[in-house]
Amino acid sequence: MSPEPIPQDIEQGALRRANARHEAAKQASRNPKSIVQRISEAAAAAGLEDGREKSKERLYIDQLIEDRSKLKPPPGTHPVSAFWSYGLEHPAAPPNRDNVPFLDQRFIAEEWAHQQNQQEPGSAQTLETTRGGRELDEMFLWEPNVIKALGGQQAGFGPDFAATCWQTISGTYAEVAEGEVFVFADTANTRSILHQRELSALCANDKVGLDNIRFVYESPVTWPEVTRTEAGTNAVRTVAQFDNPALPRYIDPYAYPADEPEVRKAKIDSLLALAAPAQEAAAVAAPGVEAPAVAGPGVESPAVEAPVVKAPMAEAPAVEAAAAVREPAGRAPRKNVRTPLWQVGFDHTPTAARPSAPGPAAGAGPAVEPVLVPRPLGTGMDGPS
């Protein structure tokens, strides 16, 4: 049975959050000096002063994005850390930079976490709901007027500054995660921070590791069933990529079933083995020393022979999602938090169409029923530059 689409209460809550954030961004753009003043006051409170090369505001932001203490949960709480990437076209969502109504997965993850915390306080979080993530988010560094008010490129706030900040703080957030983590995406696009930074950091994190990374969405329904069963598992989607044949770790989801079973298994085995050096490095790291992210998506493993890891070839995504939550030793298990298993899509009239698989040229063959699909058009941290 196919999993349910995103529940309606999650959808509506996410839309409220997205539209509120959109209005706040417009206000920041209209009054960027208020944002700069807030950053300046925080920098002064931290004892920072303007330097010869960087302003106190820039120094403060540089410290914030690597401040692990502001990304850890309050004492006595052990939330599931949620990660997200890109989003979905949605007619009731605010427009993105391409003027497309677009709902970032961020707001779906935040609404899910909010509802989990209503059931069990302190049980779920996203980066933007941590102290550090919320503070960076409220700086509105994606807004050109805010960057200009901070001094622009001449003051060290270039066009890629916001993306760099979010990539750094996202990696830090992954490094301090513990236990099972949830990923609000169906795959990790190679342009995303999820692929380039977060998944590799989670693999190398000895308190998370490959086995604790779980995707909230099933693999794309447009994939052939063989691909969904063998390459659609949580582990494979963590280490593989499905959108860029010019980059390492690529699986063509539509050509994959044409290979012989033993060829497919060897490919999956080799990809899963790439995560082994990261997990081994994490296991032997000295206490208090962070293990380097030596492998994982976006980071190539060293040229050594990695041990073969058997691929879960017969494991369907739905079977994976039913597994019990695993916690670090000595921690009481969470009561209510289990991986939701959703399919990308809503019940309303879709706004984007894509065929179920690559097919003949336009005009050849019957029309394809539209389905709502994720698009890399978000205005959040995973949006294109």
pLDDT, tens digit, 9 for 90 and up, residues 320-355: 333 344 455 555 555 567 889 999 877 544 444 333
Distance CA 181, CA 234 (A): 11
Does residue 237 lie within any of the structural domains?
no
pLDDT in the model for residue 347: 55
Q: Give how many domains the chain has, as a whole number.
A: 1
Does residue 270 lie within any of the structural domains?
no
Q: Are 174 and 83 in contact (CB under 8 A)?
A: yes
Distance CA 276, CA 280 (A): 6
- What pTM was estimated for this model as a whole? 0.80
Does residue 190 lie within any of the structural domains?
no
Q: When comparing pLDDT for 250 and 304, which is higher?
A: 250
Mean pLDDT of the chain: 81
Does residue 212 lie within any of the structural domains?
no
Does residue 370 lie within any of the structural domains?
no
Percent of the chain whose predicted confidence (pLDDT) is above 70: 74
Q: Which domain holds residue 146?
A: 1-180+332-352+375-385
CA 252 to chain centre: 21
Does residue 272 lie within any of the structural domains?
no
pLDDT in the model for residue 279: 60
pLDDT in the model for residue 335: 57
| pLDDT tens per residue, range 253-274 | 999 999 999 999 999 999 999 8
Does residue 47 lie within any of the structural domains?
yes
pLDDT at 67 over 80: yes
Instruction: Give the residue-averaged pLDDT of 157-175.
Output: 95
Torsion sign (Cα): 295, 299, 305, 310: positive
Indicate the residue type of 62: D
pLDDT at 12 over 70: yes
Does residue 214 lie within any of the structural domains?
no
